[in-house]
Amino acid sequence: MTRGILLAMLLGVAVVPSTLHAAPGAAARAEIGGLMQALEDSGCRFQRNGSWHDAAEARSHLQRKYDYLLKRGLADSAEQFIERAASRSSISGKPYRVACPGRAEQDAAPWFRRQLLRLRGG
């Protein structure tokens, strides 16, 4: 094999990972936006690393995490957003918690999954 062909093959392999993650489609973007809006409208409090935040602060935090994931092609679906941004702290690994009026405190991931089902009409 010539050097030129080998180099082209290696460069092709190096480029593939960056193209594997497409930007989320319109439906996924709408669902993720809907999840963040559901949080903001919920009146729930959101716990990160032991500190409680109101829903607007939580949405702002999750938006920053989502933007970070978008730049890296790591949030192509609402499920990926929940798993990679809305479930736990990227720093400590501790699960996020949600406390809503009249309901028991719970981990954020199941709360977001239920919101996603509602958005999808389920």
* Segment 84-110, tens digit of pLDDT: 999 999 999 999 999 999 999 999 999
Residue in this structure with the two tokens 């092609």, named with its chain if needed:
73
Residue 122 banded pLDDT, cuts 50, 70, 90: confident
CA 18: distance to chain centroid? 19
Give the C-alpha separation, 57 to 48, whole Å: 11
CA 106: distance to chain centroid? 18
Asked which of 9-23, 37-51, 90-104 is least confident by mean pLDDT, the reply is: 9-23
| Cβ proximity of 63 and 36 under 8 Å | yes
**Predicted pLDDT at 104:** 93
Residue 28 has pLDDT above 90, yes or no: yes
Give the residue among 92, 95, 93, 68 at the shortest CA–CA distance from 81.
Answer: 68
Comparing 55 with 11, which gets the higher pLDDT? 55
